[in-house]
Amino acid sequence: MMAERDEPTGALVRPYAVTRGRTRPRLEIALEALVETTVRGRSAGAHKGGTGREHQYIAALCDGRLQSLAEIAARMQLPLGVARVLIADMAADGLLAVYEPTSLDDANDAVGTELLERVLSGLRRL
């Protein structure tokens, strides 16, 4: 894993330079979505060939532990929009797995609804 002083971005790198001027991600990713490096991402990071420093840092940061989009942006000291573009690119290339939060409005989320009802019932008993 890279040392803190090896962080890829900072005051000298403009955010638009990191994304090559793009402001819209290839995939929509929620702020709280969890990100993890895939097997392909680990092997690409080991070669350090076709990916930039930011991509390598994200792959190392998410290798072995889930990180939210917000956490990655904060650790890299990047605006959320820039981090979102980078992560979306890497996910589209199969280097990262993105786990979107599930919606409580889902009809298939009976377990989540049941859990919330039990919590509410328990709170009322207090």
Q: What element of type H or E holds 35? A: strand 34-37
Task: Output the pTM of the full model.
Answer: 0.66
pLDDT (tens place) for every residue of the chain, 126 residues total: 444 445 554 454 566 666 666 667 777 888 888 999 999 988 876 555 456 888 889 999 999 889 999 999 999 888 888 889 899 989 999 999 999 887 655 555 665 677 777 778 777 877
Domain spans, the chain: 17-124
Q: At what angle do helices 53-61 and 80-92 cross, to 10 degrees?
A: 80
Three-state secondary-structure class, residue 98: strand
Dist. CA 52–CA 75, nearest whole Å: 17
Return the amino acid letter for 60: A
Cβ atoms within 10 Å of 80's Cβ, excluding its own: 14
Three-state secondary-structure class, residue 88: helix
pLDDT reported for residue 71:
93
Dist. CA 118–CA 27, nearest whole Å: 35
